[in-house]
Structure 1
Amino acid sequence: MAEAPPKPEPPAATELLALIRSVADELKLPPQRLRALCLDTSFDRELGLDSLSRMELFARIEKHFGVRLPERLLAEAETPRDLLRAILACASGKARAQVKELVVPFAEAAAQPAPETAQTLIEVLAWHVKQHPDRTHILLLQDDLPAEPISYGELAAQAKRFARGLQDLGVEPGDTVALMLPTGKEYFFAFFGLLLAGAIPVPIYPPARLSQLEDHLLRHSKILNNCQAKLLVTVPEAKPVARLLKAQVPSLTQVITPEKLTRASGDPDPIPRSSQDIALLQYTSGSTGMPKGVILTHFNLLSNIRAMGKAVQADSRDVFVSWLPLYHDMGLIGAWLGSLYYGARLAVMSPLAFLAQPLRWLLAIQRHRATLTAAPNFAYELCLKRLAEEELKGLDLSSLRAMFNGAEPVSPATLERFAARFAPYGLKPEALMPVYGLAENSVGLTFPPLGRPPRVDRIDREVFCRTGKAIPAHALTCALRFVSCGRPLPGHEVRIVDEQGRELPERVEGRLEFRGPSSTQGYYRNPQATAALFDGDWLISGDRAYLADGEVYLTGREKDIVIHAGRNLYPQEIEEAVGRIAGIRAGCVAAFGSPDPQTGTERLIVVAETRETDPKAREKLIQAIQQQVFSLTGSAPDEVRLAPPGTVLKTSSGKIRRSACKEFYERGLLGRPLPLWRQALHLLAAAVRPQLRRRLRQIQALSFAAWAWSMAGAIGALGWLGVLVLPTLERRWRFASWAARFLARVTGISLRAEGLDHLPAAERPCIYVSNHASYLDGAAVLALIPRRFGFVAKREFTSQFIAGTFLKRIGCEFVERSSEHSVQDAKRLMQAAKRGRSLWFFPEGTFTRRPGLLPFRLGAFMTAAEAGLPVVPVTIRGTRQILRADSWFPRPGAISLIVSPPIFPQAVARELENPSSFQIAVRLRELARQAILSRLGEPDLAEEPSPLLRT
């Protein structure tokens, strides 16, 4: 009996395959891979399409066929046939209309307080449950269904059930439990259930597709072994893999589902928790090698949340819309736990919902009148590329106060184009906030000032590449552009250091280090990586940057991590895995990232050496590499380049020189047959040039420091002797002023003064007040202010022979800091001022290495108020960059003094009702500090906790 002919495929099949070919052509997939393209071709194994490539394909399918594909299909579709079924299942091939109407917005007349005394996340939740248990905390957004609310009371009640279930399974305080769940209510309940049970949550990302579940779990066995996970809470589909996984992870007792945990009844046993207990482990490395689990305590997390909240003025009236994955620190801590702390509403959707339909993100911002949202740079590019003007009709983004851009390098072009594209839809340019953070500091480290548009620095490309100095470029050509990620969060510090760990001045590139209350104590059960993380009490970020006006400009990474679609990929892992493929030369594989200006992310490039020349065999090797990399990282390489032996560049010790390979790739020289002498020259130049530049910078820095100190010693000795022997105060003052100017001249430090016309007449006394940034401040004032006055200095100097003698001979006034003598000293200074003596105060009282203006003490202003003398604010800039606190290594630089108009106590008194001297002094202090701060270009540290008070 003859077989029935196969049923013909519908016309849509041909159109679908044509769309797939068009996407594959743009991805530059090898033509051989598409010859056998059919409805049963595997997207993963045969085409190697990652999530972003699938997303582009979905967008074209929806546009071509006029359908709306369900978001789950982005993760579940294995072949074109799966997509075809979904296309045909859509009602008559017509698109479902986007629901754009506004829901009733969340609004409060006044902000509610936050749990400022809470020491743990558990106490934060308990505080909210006590204050408003029925208040909606989370809105789960799923497709176009009505949002599912979760109140604080429900979160706490369900978390208790989870905690009871965990304790029934033998989970004890301090046990680690891995959490591998997609975005959903079970994730929130399970996370807090773990905390209530005293366990340590270990978030790990779920597989992109359930068909990859087995490989995905086995890839994570090293993480589970490193944290010694006792349980894995995950989806039901993982149960069949449990036995295999437990064989590889001895500590793992069970693989359980949320549903099983909710069967428990009764309250959990109370577990006392403190601020120093571990709140979670955030793993940052890949699946091979030694995983790095960042230890984050409750104190770390709450410190970071409070600092970020202060920077953006967060409160209970905020609404945060997020699609960020909850296993990622920006989604978990920044979006969810930050919203939890402040009592803000979190409207959250799955990452797949955004990838499938980027418009959902923007519509959710409109519907819920979001004030805060966040995404990596690629997401903004995705919106620019994917969204047509007709889709945006009626869109309103005017409610946004902050739209954070972080987790991967921020593109200035992306910021500019996004601001221009969405300005007609109410987006304020100042809402776009490029930020910087890392898991080792919980999540956030630097934020730009609220209410300011993004700042882009245009610097001279040639000078920067040659010297590392970020000199502003005046011409539009040959300029590099870097985005400011702002200043350190309150209570946190950053610094830029050279290869020897010495702090660099502003506008010089180096290694970025940080410290603060949010900083981790190290990596879990990984002492070697922990030791490499610290430089004294500073933490090494692994990023390169420079500072300008106290703001951080990231320039690159010290290590070869590739950030691909917001995820960290580690080249050495990829190289080792690809090197194990038969036909590939082991140890001759290079993996690196190359910027893609169209997507705003990095393309993953894999270069592998092979002796294979047969085209079919080479095609199989490429497919094997694609599959191997996808299996390892969950992301296929954007390009695989097979190259002849000798192509992958190495050091003399055999290490892969990824940066040199990247340079050759981007210049089109990689694998190109070149004469041997040209190859040798290229290799020599690529190897020697950066080393020579580094050595030259080191020599220049050491030479300047040696010269500066030798001149300071010689001219200082001359100045000290002159001041000692000259008979009159006037002559001594002039000689000291000349010595200060001469020292600046011979060391190449430029001096500049502005606003000298604001100085009172020479015969009129006044009170000078200035910021204090360095030991050089006094010398700078001597050199630039053409007036004689008396410095007010601490009495400790009188016991120092050299400094004390010098200061006495130039008429310095000394004061005691202790309360026992300070009142008497204050009276003595007032009497001197009333007699017509001008005095110079540094009202901060001290200086630190950190840029910023500290609070002012009141003494100078009480003196001015009592004596009726004008206060002259003077801003000193540049001295901290030349010689910082805690360092005796000077750097070249420039010093400027800016004299502001005098402030008269009589004018202040007229503004006040029944003014007293104290009230006048307080107002004088306020006005003088504002004048200095406005010209300083550094942050205001008055309201920040002192770094010395960090726990």
Structure 2
Amino acid sequence: MFCPVALWHHVQAPSAITPTMESANPTNQQEAAAVLLETLGGLLAEVRPGASAVPIDSLDVSLEKDLGLDSLSRVELLSRLERRFQLALPEHLYAEAETPRDLLRAIQQASPAADALDLAGSAALPLADAAVGVAPARSASNLVEALRWHAERWPDRVHVRFYADEGEGESLTYGELEMQARSTATALQGRGLASGEPVVIMLPTGKEYFFSFFGVLMAGGIPLPIYPPGRPSQLRAYLERYAPVFVSSRAPWMIAVPEAKDAVPGLPGLSGQRFCLLSMEELAGAGGGLLEPALSTRDLALLQYTSGSTGQPKGVMLSHANLLANIRAMGEAVGATAEDVFVSWLPLYHDMGLIGAWLGSLYHGFPLVLMPSTSFLSRPRRWLWAIHRYRGTLSSSPNFGYEICSRLDDADIAGLDLSSWRWAFNGAEAVSPDTLDKFARRFAAHGFAAQAFAPVYGLAESSVGLAFPPPARGGLVDRIAREPFSTRGEALPAAEDEPKPLRFVACGLPLPGHQIRVVDEAGRELPERRQGRIQFQGPSATAGYYRDSAHTRELFRGDWLESGDLGYMAAGEVYVTGRSKDIVIRGGRNLYPPEIEQAVSGVDGIRKEGVAAFGVASETTGSERLIVLAETRLRPGPEQEHARAAINAVVADLIGAPPDEVLLAPPGAVLKTSSGKVRRAVIRGLYEKGHLGRPARRLLPAIARASAGRFAERLRRLRLRLGEWGFAAWGWSSFAVLAPLLLASVLALPGLEQRWRAMRRAVQALRRATGTRLTVHGLEHLPAAGEPFILVCNHASYLDVYALVAAMPQPVGFVAKAELARGRLLGQALRRIGTEFVERYEAEKSLSDARRLMEILKAGKPLVYFAEGTFTRIPGLRPFRMGAFTAAVEAGAWVVPVALRGTRSMLRGDDRFPHRGAIAVTIGLPLDSRAIRAESADDWQAALRLRDLSRAHILRYCGEPELG
């Protein structure tokens, strides 16, 4: 579902903790230690709710491996300690502190709070005032051409501004980036880099990262970015975790910090593989000419790996065409211009930071203000103050970033102005409605407009972005009834008095040129407001996984790609409700339970194959919490605490951070299917209801109830599936019986009125047979008999004609494409019900048809136009053709807008599997073409006015989004 990245676990510390402490008053030191441990205990109780208390009888326990505090928890701990002691602690402490004693030393040496970082006094530094004439690189066919476009035209224009607390900060221009990247490319070719070879890039945020990335591209290589670890001492363990990526990609090159040189030899799996590590210092100042490769749009521009730990990693292949298509589509969705300013703290191995922020800003020509993720994590207010100082208009974060900022102290944001922020993207993990509400309320007084919130949906397999909300709409939260969703997967709007409705956030419409659909287990597309698997397609979609045909086959379903997410569609927007697989997303990073379970199974005292890892939503962090349940026969007390610490350590070694909670339970607590698969969803449900962690005798009834509930759920799904097949079979059977009778009646009956009544009776019989509810509003708006008028309708399905026949009390003539007249029986039947045919492809014939229709209108025969001309499976109101409106103006006819709703959901254009549903026909007030013509400059302007008024009515009532 979301981007496979780590945001806070791999951090870079500028300096080490001072190893010695100046002499202090023992009493003060003892008091400080007591306050420190009290604060630590309070935080532990929050981040590990329901777990047994951890005795803190020593200042030398490991914050990570013994107590299970990840980086985000340590940031919160430091914030609390600063408030308790009224001190300004070193900001690198959250990464460097390994024990409470380290924290105590820092407290004893810290500066007073008055010396804390003051961002409010920094001067504003607007960046977009020199954007006149700057245009996107529209003609570029690859990323190198996009860079060259800007470097040739605006070489001195600031491309990236590196954030600094004081002053302007270092900058990178387009010209400098192009020149230095070219030099790096020359050096890489001199070292022997061949076209198409992957190059691992492990560099911190800074100029060298940009030089290396484009240097690899210019030399014909494929960048494969990963992020450096927080401390040099972690390099070896960190590279061992990434060894499967090196092996999978067979990357023979790596550009990294110099300290990595000593950590590479002997990495597992690389003994028989060519692997050369280079530093940017070794690649500097290369002479000679660059042999520029002939890059095509299909060439790979990026390998985005979805896992960096010991599981089988998957390298998403993204071509230049994929990335440029995604960047262009996102730019169109947000209306990006060179006057925008993007402020980002997301690391450059994170696809939101790499593609959405950096490459997007490069292509569109707006400046990027970039800060290391460590700067945000240590002082989250920096992000908001950077938006204030640089008048940022675009910025993004996973949900947890907004959650952190919503808890900032008043003193941290005094004087803050966020009024320039027009797109606040929230993605990479589940979007919380509560976080949207809290952040909007917290910063409303600081100029933040709730309409700027943009919950978005994307994944690495679609480059990064897939769905964006309409501009300035803000967060849209869908309240749905819990019971029908839980039992039937139906996302029905909840009643106002529903005590505990489910709430899901709309993640927007598919980006231009992209499609999203929701399918059932058999791969059939579901109607709106039915939960299923989310699939997608579009020009941003990957061709598959690098050197991994097995996973590539699992990714594709014909022309559609599996997202791995569950969700539903409503009014054309996607709502993500969960994941079809058990991936845990914590802080934007994908964690894979099977590999965690395998690692924990190796801990002494833990039963083999008796481990379950799963994620639960956290209101505290706005992200997910990783829970590990492990079966053991160890006795409560020191034995179990030792095992818990060992589990924290092994998980931290595996994924770079400990689990949020470790639960030790007796044998039998980890439920499995008959085939031996861990039933994580059921275990998660038991945890959320507070059943895990109880004595075995109290746990068994809960397990039995959960198992029974799971069985009942399967039965409900089976009944639902059988019901869907039964409805489809009954619907087509009813149609098969009624259609011949209707055709015979139309061909045999002598008068139009009689034929129309026969049609209405047949359609009503089909409606009753299928239990389809039809509501018609506005029949009183139809003009009087004999008045010339046109019904203008949207077109969503083959069922549209049937709905109109059932709704209209009088005969109307459908305007249809000429191809339908060529069928012998069908063409004759359509003529006998008053259908008028028009030629779509021959200009002269089309003009003749238009004149003929105008005369028919003047004679008083009402006509029905489907103004979109055709329909597709994609929900949304397409552009209107002008024929109906020009005819109305010339004939002086009324125009009656009619909105059809529900037909597409029942039967989509490329599907033959009907679904149950309801249809609504809403007839609008008639528009007087003569009056509108009298107010307009000419016939064409009058027709445009009629079109716009009709479209506004249909858009209001059709329940689908605007597509053009």
TM-score for both structures, normalised by structure 1: 0.94
Mapped partners of 2:236, 2:57: distance in 1: 27
Residues 813-864 of structure 1, C-alpha deviations (whole Å, 9 max, x = no match):
1222231632332332233223332211113221100001222223223322
Partner of 1:717: 740
Contact 1:21 1:34 in 2 (8 A): no
Mapped partners of 1:742, 1:128: distance in 2: 65
Partner of 1:54: 74
Partner of 1:555: 577
State how 1:641-660 maps to structure 2 within 5 Å.
641-660=663-682
Secondary structure of the corresponding residue to residue 504 of structure 2: strand
Mapped partners of 2:889, 2:53: distance in 1: 86
Partner of 1:607: 629
Contact 1:70 1:143 in 2 (8 A): no
Per the TM alignment, residue 666 of structure 1 is displaced from its structure 2 partner at its CA by: 1.8
Question: After alignment, is 340-349 or 829-838 more displaced?
Answer: 829-838
> Structure 2 residue aligned with 1:464, among 456, 480, 485?
485
Contact 1:19 1:60 in 2 (8 A): no
Contact 2:239 2:264 in 1 (8 A): no
Q: Do structure 1's residue 394 and structure 2's residue 415 form an aligned pair? A: yes
Partner of 1:678: 701
Mapped partners of 1:152, 1:31: distance in 2: 56
Mapped partners of 1:676, 1:320: distance in 2: 51
Per the TM alignment, residue 436 of structure 1 is displaced from its structure 2 partner at its CA by: 0.8
Mapped partners of 1:16, 1:267: distance in 2: 63
Residues 457 and 138 of structure 1: CA distance in aligned 2, closer, same or farther (over 3 Å) = same
Partner of 1:750: 773
Q: Partner letter of residue 832 of structure 1?
A: I
> Structure 1 residue aligned with 2:816, among 772, 790, 793?
793
Q: Partner letter of residue 543 of structure 1?
A: D
Per the TM alignment, residue 673 of structure 1 is displaced from its structure 2 partner at its CA by: 2.3
Q: Partner letter of residue 438 of structure 1?
A: L
Residues 225 and 906 of structure 1: CA distance in aligned 2, closer, same or farther (over 3 Å) = same
Contact 2:200 2:223 in 1 (8 A): yes
Residues 459-478 of structure 1, C-alpha deviations (whole Å, 9 max, x = no match):
11111111111111112412
Partner of 1:284: 306
Q: Do structure 1's residue 936 and structure 2's residue 958 form an aligned pair? A: yes
Q: Do structure 1's residue 624 and structure 2's residue 641 form an aligned pair? A: no
Secondary structure of the corresponding residue to residue 201 of structure 1: strand
State how 1:176-195 maps to structure 2 within 5 Å.
176-195=198-217
State how 1:216-235 maps to structure 2 within 5 Å.
216-235=238-257
Q: Do structure 1's residue 409 and structure 2's residue 430 form an aligned pair? A: yes
Secondary structure of the corresponding residue to residue 336 of structure 2: coil
| Residue segments in structure 1 that go unaligned for 5+ positions in a row | 943-951
Mapped partners of 1:152, 1:458: distance in 2: 47
Residues 905-928 of structure 1, C-alpha deviations (whole Å, 9 max, x = no match):
333333433x2x445444433443
Per the TM alignment, residue 687 of structure 1 is displaced from its structure 2 partner at its CA by: 3.1
Mapped partners of 2:170, 2:22: distance in 1: 46
Mapped partners of 2:92, 2:215: distance in 1: 27
Contact 1:103 1:367 in 2 (8 A): yes
Q: Partner letter of residue 119 of structure 1?
A: S
> Structure 1 residue aligned with 2:226, among 204, 213, 219?
204
Q: Partner letter of residue 589 of structure 1?
A: V
Residues 84 and 613 of structure 1: CA distance in aligned 2, closer, same or farther (over 3 Å) = closer
Secondary structure of the corresponding residue to residue 797 of structure 2: coil
Question: After alignment, is 764-773 or 264-273 more displaced?
Answer: 264-273
Mapped partners of 1:166, 1:77: distance in 2: 38
Mapped partners of 1:804, 1:338: distance in 2: 52
Higher RCO structure (Cα 8 Å, ≥6 apart): 2
Per the TM alignment, residue 44 of structure 1 is displaced from its structure 2 partner at its CA by: 3.2
Partner of 1:105: 126
Residues 259 and 490 of structure 1: CA distance in aligned 2, closer, same or farther (over 3 Å) = same
Secondary structure of the corresponding residue to residue 731 of structure 2: helix
Q: Partner letter of residue 263 of structure 2?
A: V
Q: Partner letter of residue 640 of structure 2?
A: R
Contact 1:768 1:839 in 2 (8 A): yes
State how 1:387-536 maps to structure 2 within 5 Å.
387-474=408-495, 475-536=497-558
> Structure 2 residue aligned with 1:589, among 595, 607, 611?
611
Mapped partners of 2:754, 2:695: distance in 1: 73
Residues 748-780 of structure 1, C-alpha deviations (whole Å, 9 max, x = no match):
111112232322112201122211111111111
Contact 1:59 1:356 in 2 (8 A): no
Q: Do structure 1's residue 804 and structure 2's residue 827 form an aligned pair? A: yes
State how 1:328-407 maps to structure 2 within 5 Å.
328-385=350-407, 387-407=408-428
Residues 202-258 of structure 1, C-alpha deviations (whole Å, 9 max, x = no match):
111322433222111011111111111111112222111121238626434322222
Residues 192 and 67 of structure 1: CA distance in aligned 2, closer, same or farther (over 3 Å) = farther
Per the TM alignment, residue 92 of structure 1 is displaced from its structure 2 partner at its CA by: 5.7
Residues 138 and 835 of structure 1: CA distance in aligned 2, closer, same or farther (over 3 Å) = same
Mapped partners of 1:763, 1:339: distance in 2: 60
Partner of 1:949: none
Mapped partners of 1:319, 1:383: distance in 2: 20
Residues 196 and 83 of structure 1: CA distance in aligned 2, closer, same or farther (over 3 Å) = farther
Per the TM alignment, residue 61 of structure 1 is displaced from its structure 2 partner at its CA by: 2.9
Mapped partners of 2:160, 2:363: distance in 1: 12
What RMSD in Å do the two structures reach over aligned CA positions? Answer: 2.3
Residues 731 and 444 of structure 1: CA distance in aligned 2, closer, same or farther (over 3 Å) = same
Residues 31 and 882 of structure 1: CA distance in aligned 2, closer, same or farther (over 3 Å) = closer
Partner of 1:946: none
Mapped partners of 1:586, 1:17: distance in 2: 40
Per the TM alignment, residue 32 of structure 1 is displaced from its structure 2 partner at its CA by: 8.1
Residues 58-92 of structure 1, C-alpha deviations (whole Å, 9 max, x = no match):
21233234443444443333344544555455456
Mapped partners of 2:283, 2:37: distance in 1: 43
> Structure 2 residue aligned with 1:880, among 904, 923, 945?
904
Mapped partners of 1:733, 1:23: distance in 2: 79
Question: After alignment, is 782-791 or 443-452 more displaced?
Answer: 782-791
Contact 2:159 2:171 in 1 (8 A): yes
Partner of 1:74: 94
Contact 1:431 1:451 in 2 (8 A): yes
Mapped partners of 1:550, 1:32: distance in 2: 48
Partner of 2:601: 579
Secondary structure of the corresponding residue to residue 718 of structure 1: helix
Q: Partner letter of residue 726 of structure 2?
A: S
Contact 2:69 2:660 in 1 (8 A): no
Residues 561-584 of structure 1, C-alpha deviations (whole Å, 9 max, x = no match):
011122111000100011112221
Contact 1:23 1:56 in 2 (8 A): no
Contact 1:137 1:149 in 2 (8 A): yes
Q: Partner letter of residue 929 of structure 2?
A: P
Residues 694-716 of structure 1, C-alpha deviations (whole Å, 9 max, x = no match):
11210111111112112222222
Mapped partners of 1:383, 1:86: distance in 2: 25
Contact 2:666 2:696 in 1 (8 A): no
Partner of 1:945: none
What is the identity percentage for the equivalent residue pairs of Structure 1 and Structure 2? 50
Residues 15 and 265 of structure 1: CA distance in aligned 2, closer, same or farther (over 3 Å) = farther
Partner of 1:856: 880
> Structure 1 residue aligned with 2:683, among 657, 661, 670?
661
Mapped partners of 2:37, 2:232: distance in 1: 22
Secondary structure of the corresponding residue to residue 222 of structure 1: helix
Residues 676 and 354 of structure 1: CA distance in aligned 2, closer, same or farther (over 3 Å) = closer
TM-score for both structures, normalised by structure 2: 0.93
Q: Do structure 1's residue 255 and structure 2's residue 255 form an aligned pair? A: no
Mapped partners of 1:804, 1:13: distance in 2: 95
Q: Partner letter of residue 737 of structure 1?
A: R
Mapped partners of 1:772, 1:782: distance in 2: 14
Q: Do structure 1's residue 241 and structure 2's residue 272 form an aligned pair? A: no
